[in-house]
Amino acid sequence: MNQDNLFRTRAKELLEQLSVDEKLHQLTAQMVFDIGDGYEDRRDPLRGSYRNPGHFMHQHGMISSPGEVARRINRDVELSMEAQPHGIPPLEHGESLHGAQWGMASIFPQPIGLASTFDPALVKEAADVIGKETRAVGVRQALAPVVNLARDIRWGRTIETFGEDPKLASDMGAAMCRGFEENGIAATPKHFADNYADGGRDSNYSTHSERELREVYLKPFEACFKEGGAHGVMAAYNSLFNGLPAHANPWLLTKVLREEWGFEGIVVSDYGGVDGTAGAHRIAKDRPEAVAMCLKAGLDVTLANLDYEDIREAWDRGLLTEEDLDRAVLRLLTLKFKLGLFDHPFVDPDAADKLVRCEAHQAIALKAARASLVLLENDGILPLDGAKIKKLGIFGPGADVLPTGRNYSGPYAHLWEAPDVLSPLGWFRAHAEDMEIVTGRDEEIPVLAPDCDAVLYFTTVVEGEGLDRSDLRLPSYRTAASRDEAAVIVDKAELSVEVDQETSILALARANPNTVVVLMNGAPVDVTAWRGEVRAILEAWYPGEGGAEAISDALFGRTNPGGKLPVSWPKSVGQLPLFYGYKPSGRGYGYENNDGRPLYPFGYGRSYTTFTLHTPTLHKTDTGWELSLTVENTGAFDGDEVVQVYLHAEHTKVVRPVKELVAYQRVHVPKGEQVPVTIPVPASVTYYYDADMVFGDHGGDFTLLVGTSAEDVPIELRIR
C-alpha cells in the first residue's frame, strides 16, 4: 500500500468512529484575537482548524520570540487533542505570502518583486525558507501563494501577485508551493478564481467567460496542483460567469478542480466567504443554507469564524446529508495524516529560535532582494561612483521606512521589525564611510539638495487589500485604513502621505540635476509627469529585509540590476486594463492621443551592461523543441539577462493571442564573455481550446519570437 492510500485508509477508519457532532466541528475554524487572559476560555477546542495564535501575540510593543510562538501553538494543539473524543489535532493555518506571518520571521520581496526575478529556482529557495519557518512554530497550512493575475493594476492586491502572465505566474506559484509542501506545509493557492473585476475592483463579480478563465486565469492554479503539489486551495469572494459565487460553485470546486484536475486536497473558504453567499451575493436565505450550499458545491472547511450553530442548524434542517459531511471530513483527516499531525503534533521551541532568521535564511532574503530590482531608466548616472560622491542627499516618504511594504508584513497590530534590519536611509547612514548623508523634509529640498553630488528620492504608495486605486499617480493625500478583518490579516496599518511626491521629485530635479528616483511600490505608477526630468529610475518594489542593502549595492554598482517587469507599465490610467497577451483587434490598438502601447513592456528591464543574442537554433525533441543560442555580454559590467520566448499563432481554429510567453531563462554573463543557453519548449504550447471548448492539438502555423521583452523579440523561428 502506498503512503497516500495508507493516509486515506487511516482517515476512513477514524471517520467511521466520529459522531455527527465531531464531524461538524472538524469542518469549522476559529480565529481568536486576544491572546491574553481568558484566551483558552474563548477558544473552542473542538474545531478542526485555527488561525494560529502567533499572529496575535505581538501587541502593546512586545515582540514574542519564535520559541514563545511555538510554545503557544503547542499549547493550542494540546488543548484540542485533550478535548477531542478521538484526540484529533487541529490544523493551524496562517499567511505566508512573502514570509511566515506569525511574527518577525524572515521576510522576502513582495510577490510582485519575486516575479521580477524571472527565476523560479530562486523563488523555490525563498519558499523553502518560508516553509521551514512556518513549520518551525507549528503552523501547517500556508494561505499562499496568490496566483491571481494582475491584468488591471488598479487592483490594490497587484502587490500580492506574480504579475499579468499565466506562464510566469504558473512557474512562480508552482515553485512556491513546492517549497511549502516539501517542508510539510499544505500550500493553499488563492483566490480561486479570478478575484477582481473591471476597474481593478477587489472581489467584484468576474466578467470573464469560461474560455477566458480556462485560457488564462485558471492556468496558474492548475500548475500549483499538478506541478507544485499543493494540498489546499482558497475560494474567492466573487461570482463567476455561470452566476454562482466561487464558494458555492460546483463547476469550479468539483467539475474543474476535482474531476478534471484530480485535486485531492481541501478547499477552504476565504474569511467570511461562506457568509457572503447569503449576504453579499444574496442567493442563500441565511447562513445555515449558505454553508450547506458551499459544502455541497465542494467546499470543505469554513474559515475563520462561522458560528458552529450555523452548520449544526444546516444539519438539523436536513440541508446536509452524512454523505456531504463524510466527503469533506475525509479530505481534511487525510490531509492531517499526510502532514503527520497525528504522529508528531508538537514542535521544538528551542529549535525554532535557532532556525528563524538564521544567517543562511537572511542570505537568501538578500539574494532575492538583489534579483528583484528592475532598472527602468538610466542616462549613465548609475552606477554612482562612490569615490566622487562626497555628499549624498536622501529624501522622500519611503526613505526611512523598512522596505517590506505594509502588506502581509508582520503580525496583527505590529509592523514587521528586526534590530538588524535598516531602512534605506538608515543603511546609507550606517555604511556611508567617507560620504556625508544629507536628508530633510521635502519642503527643505530647495535648500539642502543643490550642494549634494547626487540625490535620491524614495517614494511610497497607499495600496493593498481593500485599497484599489483609480489614480496611478504617486499619492499626495492622507488616508487611514479602517481596522476591518482584512486589516487584521494584512496588517494594513494606518498610513498617511503628507507630501506631494510628484511636486517634490520635480523640485529635486530642479535643485540638483543628478536626481535618481527609487520607487517603493507594489504596482506601476504614472511617472510621465517627472520621468523626463530625472536621470534614473530604479523599481525596487518592496524588497524585504535585505532591501536596503540590495538597493545600495545596485545604486553603487556592487551588483547590476537584472530584474524584469512582470506587468505591462501604462503611460496613464486611461490605458487600463493593459497586458501584452491580448487577442487581435478588428480595428486597431491605439487611442486618439497615444498608440496604445505601454510605457514599459512586460519583460522589460535595463542593465548597466549590454547583451546580444547570437546564433539561435531549434531542435525537435520527443517532447517538443530545444531552443539553443548564445548570450554575449558586450558591455563593461557583469550582468544578468532574461531570454524570453513568445509564441505567435496563425491559421488556428479559433482566435489566439497575438503573443504569449511560453519559455524563458535568466542567465548570468560576465563582461566580455558568451554563455550558451538551451531552453526547452514543450509541444503543448501549440495546444488550445477549439470552438467547442475541447483542449488539444488543433493545428495552425506557429512562430517562436525570441528576445528580451514582449516588445523586443527580433528573432523569429517557425515551428510546426
Q: How far is the first Cα of the chain from the last one, in angstroms, to the nearest whole number? A: 44
- Looking at the domain that runs over 611-719, which CATH code has it been given? 2.60.40.10
Tell me the pairing of strands 515-519 and 536-539. parallel
| Digit-coded pLDDT (tens) for 199-243 | 999 989 999 999 999 999 999 999 999 999 999 999 999 999 999
pLDDT given at position 486: 55
Report the residue count for the chain.
720
pLDDT given at position 335: 98
Tell me the pairing of strands 232-234 and 374-378. unpaired
CA distances from 209 to 205, 216, 451, 585 (A): 12, 11, 58, 18
Give, for 702, the enclosing helix (H) or strand (E): strand 701-707
Q: How many CB atoms lie within 10 A of CB 718?
A: 10
pLDDT given at position 489: 61
pLDDT given at position 496: 66
Query: Domain 375-567: which CATH class?
Result: alpha beta
Separation CA 166–CA 634 (nearest Å) = 32
The vertex-266 CA angle with 260 and 269, nearest 5°, equals 105
Share of the chain above pLDDT 70, in %: 97
Q: What are phi and psi of 90, to 5 degrees?
A: -85, 160
**Are 300 and 332 a contacting pair, CB within 8 Å?**
yes
pLDDT given at position 270: 96
Consecutive 10-residue averages of pLDDT for the chain (720 residues): 89 97 97 89 96 90 93 97 96 97 96 98 98 98 98 96 98 98 98 92 92 98 98 97 96 98 97 92 95 98 91 97 97 98 98 98 98 98 96 97 92 90 97 93 97 97 87 76 55 66 97 98 97 98 98 98 98 94 90 91 98 95 96 98 98 97 98 98 97 97 98 94
Separation CA 259–CA 25 (nearest Å) = 27
| Residue ranges, CATH 3.40.50.1700, the chain | 375-567
Q: How many CB atoms lie within 10 A of CB 323?
A: 9
Q: Which three cell numbers stand for residue 306?
A: 462561522
Separation CA 131–CA 184 (nearest Å) = 8
| Digit-coded pLDDT (tens) for 485-510 | 555 566 554 556 789 999 999 999 99
pLDDT given at position 493: 46
Global pTM value:
0.97
Query: Domain 3-354: which CATH class?
Result: alpha beta
pLDDT given at position 318: 97
Separation CA 327–CA 245 (nearest Å) = 21
pLDDT given at position 60: 75
pLDDT given at position 478: 59
| Digit-coded pLDDT (tens) for 472-489 | 999 886 554 454 555 556
| Residue ranges, CATH 2.60.40.10, the chain | 611-719
Q: Which three cell numbers stand for residue 240?
A: 463567476
